[in-house]
């Protein structure tokens, strides 16, 4: 069975982008794949986090996973810091990846801003930890939003360089698997993981600015719909969402150059499990004043049950912590098996 890994950071409020771009897809993959879903707290601390808030957010993301429908008995749910092998493999990958590769990462440039000298080394090395998260389980598929595409490409580059740098050792120890690299059949230890960037809403945009993605760290709360927003707040945010003066076009062509309009139609289509074409078939020609209440009603109908379930699950902290502990134990077994082999590939004496 193919193995899926993905993670969500416990930083601030989970929003509709995290849900449509990631969490909802995590749920859908459960029937066809073995899945490992991680609350990536070690990624969160690449920028300063209030420790008490970090613990709260870690449990909240876990509750969101469970409330959305992830089954922690069939699959693995845990927080990253419990499984030390992520950090260990990240160090190995820091020694495999090249400075130039990381220098090209756009997320670092955006997050570090102008004051790069003051960004943490961890923020710069974030993608090598992400590669370790995935490859310590030798995961074959990673469902993520469109913003993570570049990091997934880097993960493949790291796997490929590791396989190449240590190819004779991998062959001597007979720990490789056959895989295709372009047209060439090679024997590698780490798979070239496939990103799964698909579904109707791989990049949900801010409600205030159609050129920016919906994001947890955007200061304006009006820019996003949080999974925990109540019905009134959701309606208000959609009512205030930026649009242009025209009504809805009758076909997808008519959304070109209208990012805010396209975003709202995309969100509707994703929540309704429909397509933009069908949504425009229904609402084309109408004004946003008619479309927005319909969108708000749909968003509330879809999100309220998840928010209620999150509250119910969060009330039982012992249960949430138990899920993370048990998931961590199961994840550690897989991660340690990988690291045993990695240590021996590298020549690190551990007997
Ligand atoms: N706007 C989005 N549309 C679709 N998918 C998105 N994701 C994030 N934003 C959108 C996906 O959600 C998963 C978890 O993201 P994360 O919390 O680990 O990191 P992030 O991308 O940094 O999330 P935010 O919300 O944008 O936080 P900040 O503001 O801190 O940068 C990932 O699969 C991501 O692709």
8-state DSSP, 193: P
**For a substitution probing ligand 1, which of 145, 152, 205, 271 has the most ligand atoms within 8 Å of its CB?**
145
- ipTM comes to 0.95
CA of 147 to the centre of ligand 1 (A): 7
User: Tokens 């799964």 appear where?
Assistant: 196
Distance, CA 21 to ligand 1 centroid (Å)? 8
pLDDT tens sequence across 128-137: 999 999 999 9
Distances (CA, A) of 174 to 19, 170, 255, 334: 41, 6, 54, 19
Task: State the pLDDT confidence band at 279, using cuts at 50, 70 and 90.
Answer: very high
- How distant, in Å, are the alpha carbons of 159, 184, 191, 335 from that of 136? 11, 24, 11, 5
pLDDT digits (tens, 9 = 90+) for 191-209: 999 999 988 899 999 999 9
**Residue 186: predicted pLDDT:** 83
Average pLDDT value for residue range 267-292: 96
With a cut of 80, say whether residue 181 has pLDDT above it: no
Q: How much distance in Å is there from the Cα of 252 to the middle of ligand 1?
A: 26
Residues that constitute the known binding site for ATP: 9-11, 17-18, 145-147, 204, 213-217
Ligand 1 pocket test, candidate residues 9, 147, 219, most atoms within 8 A of CB? 147
Contact between residue 161 and residue 120 where contact means Cβ atoms under 8 Å apart:
no
CATH class of 221-313: mainly alpha
Q: What percent of the chain has pLDDT over 90?
A: 94
Give yes or no for residue 1 having a pLDDT over 80.
no
Scanning 12-120, the segments in alpha helix (DSSP H) are: 16-18, 24-28, 41-44, 51-68, 85-96, 99-103, 106-112
Distance CA 274, CA 124 (A): 39
**Exposure string (b/e) for 66-75, b if CB count within 10 Å is 16 or more?**
bbbebebeeb
Question: What residues contact 113, with CB distance under 8 A and at least 6 apart?
Answer: none
pTM: 0.95
* pLDDT for the residue 351: 83
pLDDT score of 217 more than 90:
no
The domain segmentation of the chain, as residue ranges, is 3-196+317-346, 221-313
> Contact, 307 vs 228, CB < 8 A?
yes
**What's residue 175's pLDDT?**
97
Q: What is the distance between the alpha carbons of residues 322 and 77, in angstroms, rounded to a whole number?
A: 10
Ligand 1, atom 30, lies closest to the CA of 217
Do 145 and 10 form a contact (C-beta atoms < 8 A)? no
Catalytic residues: 111, 213, 216
> Which residues have CB under 6 Å of ligand 1?
8-9, 11, 17-18, 21-22, 144-145, 147-148, 202-204, 213-217
For residue 98 the two structure tokens come to 């090249």
Alpha helices in 167-316 (DSSP H): 167-173, 231-240, 259-271, 276-283, 288-314
Cβ–Cβ under 8 Å, residues 317 and 285: no
CA-proximal residue: ligand 1, atom 10 (nearest): 17
CATH code of the domain made up of 3-196+317-346: 3.40.50.620
């Amino acid at each position: 069975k193919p193995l899926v890994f993905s993670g969500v950071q416990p930083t601030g409020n989970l929003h509709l982008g995290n849900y449509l771009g990631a969490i909802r897809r995590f749920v859908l993959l459960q029937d066809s794949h073995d899945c490992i879903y991680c609350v990536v707290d070690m990624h969160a601390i690449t920028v300063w986090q209030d420790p008490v808030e970090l613990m709260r957010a870690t449990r909240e993301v876990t509750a969101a996973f469970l409330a959305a429908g992830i089954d922690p008995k069939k699959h693995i749910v845990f927080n990253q810091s419990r499984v030390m092998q992520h950090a260990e493999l990240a160090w190995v990958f820091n020694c495999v990846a090249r400075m130039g590769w990381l220098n090209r990462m756009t997320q670092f440039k955006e997050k570090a801003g102008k004051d790069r000298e003051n960004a943490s080394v961890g923020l710069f090395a974030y993608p090598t930890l992400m590669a370790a998260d995935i490859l310590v389980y030798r995961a074959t598929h990673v469902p993520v939003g469109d913003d993570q595409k570049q990091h997934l490409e880097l993960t493949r580059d790291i796997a490929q360089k590791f396989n190449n740098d240590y190819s004779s050792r991998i062959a001597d120890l007979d720990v490789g698997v056959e895989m295709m690299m372009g047209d060439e059949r090679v024997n590698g230890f780490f798979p070239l993981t496939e990103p799964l960037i698909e579904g109707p809403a791989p990049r949900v945009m801010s409600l205030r600015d159609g050129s920016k993605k919906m994001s947890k760290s955007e200061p304006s709360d009006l820019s996003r719909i949080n999974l925990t927003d109540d019905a009134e707040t959701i309606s208000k945010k959609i009512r205030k969402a930026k649009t242009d003066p025209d009504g809805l076009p009758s076909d997808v062509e008519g959304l070109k150059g209208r990012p805010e309009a396209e975003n709202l139609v995309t969100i509707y289509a994703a929540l309704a499990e429909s397509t933009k074409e069908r949504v425009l078939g229904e609402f084309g020609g109408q004004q946003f004043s008619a479309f927005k209440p319909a969108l708000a009603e749909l968003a509330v109908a879809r999100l309220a049950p998840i928010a209620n379930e999150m509250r119910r699950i969060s009330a039982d902290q012992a249960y949430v912590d138990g899920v993370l502990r048990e998931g961590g134990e199961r994840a550690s077994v897989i991660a340690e098996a990988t690291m045993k082999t990695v240590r021996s590939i590298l020549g690190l004496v551990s007997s």
